[in-house]
Amino acid sequence: MLQVRDRLCDAAAKCATVTCKRKGNAVKLTELAHGGGCGCKLGPAVLRDLLADQPVGQMFPQLLVGNAESDDAAVWRIDDRTCVIATTDFFMPMVDDARDFGRIAATNAISDIYAMGGNPIMALAILGMPINVMDAATIRAILGGGAEICADAGIPIAGGHSIDAPEPIYGLAVIGICAPEDLRRNGGAQSGDKLILTKPVGVGIYSNAIKKGTATAEDIAEMVATCTTLNRIGQDLSTRPEVHAITDVTGFGILGHGLEMSRGAGLALRVDRAALPLLDRAAELAASGHRTGASDRNWDAVEADTRLPENMTPAERDLLTDPQTSGGLLVAVAPDKADDVLAQIRAAHPRAAIIGEAVPGTGIEVV
């Protein structure tokens, strides 16, 4: 299996700059998709409506986490020592480099396992490609990029499924394991807990700049670097009893995923906007009108439960609703251990920051 992964990674390196062909003309990956990354997700309100009458698994006592909760993955308890964690994530390209698309999609998919405190053990590939438009070398580069990240995570891509699709789609279904006592859900925050965000925000804004052709090479490199950094720190944090809750911040933005944490804990979250780590040009690009349609959907879903400062500009609000792809972990930790946990996180994620706290009440207050 390692030899297979090595060959795939070698192929990815050779194919990374390959372009697609449409009637003899080069075409960018992002031109083949109506959206990209986690900005493609259905809005929270739409998703809640679609799932409202779906069975929630009460007949299965071993199902510790299912679709009744807004958590990051499903969890099945095998016995007193082992839980199985299962998740799936896939999306359309947010970058034009095929290898980077594969790397970002794989990093994003594996993140849900880490967010639950788990150890990933295996992945299955999910692939949909417009075969009449994309050449084989480009598709191999996407697959090779995904295999590269899985190799970094120490897991095999053991199989998968592919279809001919009108837009390029790639992602993974990932299986992980953890001890029951190490499982971390998004609803375990306690009053007074400090909130740590491990990665900077602004990926959706940068993705929009890429699609518009206004992103610089430095912008793209910065975004790809953060989106291909594995959130394996979540597995390490899960063994610390002072870490009470973990979730990863993806398509619903910091407000959407923060509200899921708030509701799960029965507490309010107070978020300090000045403390929020940002990609270098996120504020500048937001102020110049770079945003995704998902920002409005995300705001519509949280507006009734969110209190904003009166002087907040629309661009500043967009930073809070910006859909993240392969975003950071939002961690709730006991206040007396927050600095120690932050130091541990910064060894892997140097831009991590304490961005707020959990307090009595409901919803989210931005200060």
Q: 21 and 169: one domain?
A: yes
Residue 17's pLDDT is 41
Q: 253 and 163: one domain?
A: no
Q: 124 and 40: one domain?
A: yes
Q: 44 and 167: one domain?
A: yes
Residue 257 among known ligand-binding residues? no
Both tokens of 51, joined, read 């799932």
C-alpha gyration radius of the chain: 20
Q: 299 and 150: one domain?
A: no
Residue for token digits 């207050």? 365
Q: 134, 162, 181: which is the final residue of a domain?
A: 181
Q: 230 and 119: one domain?
A: no
Q: 71 and 60: one domain?
A: yes
Distance CA(220)–CA(232), nearest Å, equals 23
pLDDT tens digits for 134-160? 999 999 999 999 999 999 999 999 999
Q: Digits of tens for pLDDT over the chain (367 positions)?
A: 334 344 434 434 443 444 555 544 556 888 887 665 555 566 666 777 777 777 666 678 899 998 877 778 999 999 999 999 999 999 999 999 999 999 999 999 999 999 999 999 999 999 999 998 999 999 999 999 999 999 999 999 999 999 999 999 999 999 999 999 999 999 999 999 999 999 999 999 999 999 899 999 999 999 999 999 999 999 999 999 999 999 999 999 999 999 999 999 999 999 999 999 999 999 999 999 999 988 999 999 999 999 999 999 999 999 999 999 999 999 999 999 999 999 999 999 999 999 999 999 999 999 9
Distance CA(117)–CA(138), nearest Å, equals 34
Residue 182 CA, chain-centre distance (Å), reads 21
Q: 170 and 243: one domain?
A: no
Q: Strand 194-197 to strand 306-307: parallel, antiparallel, or no bridges (unpaired)?
A: unpaired
> In 3D, which of 219, 228, 260, 244 has the Cα closest to residue 364?
260
| CATH number, position 319 | 3.90.650.10
Please report, in angstroms and rounded to a whole number, the separation of the first and last CA atoms in the chain: 51
Domain that holds residue 63: 2-181
Q: 152 and 36: one domain?
A: yes
Residue 162 among known ligand-binding residues? yes
Q: 132, 161, 181: which is the final residue of a domain?
A: 181
Residue 269: beta bridge partners? 358, 364
Residue 41 among known ligand-binding residues? yes
Residue 161 among known ligand-binding residues? yes
Q: 131, 160, 181: which is the final residue of a domain?
A: 181
Residue 248 among known ligand-binding residues? yes
Residue 280 among known ligand-binding residues? no
Q: 154 and 277: one domain?
A: no
Report how many domains make up the chain: 2
Query: Known catalytic residues?
Result: 38
Q: 86 and 177: one domain?
A: yes
Instruction: Write the DSSP string, 318-332.
Output: HHHHPPPSS--EEEE
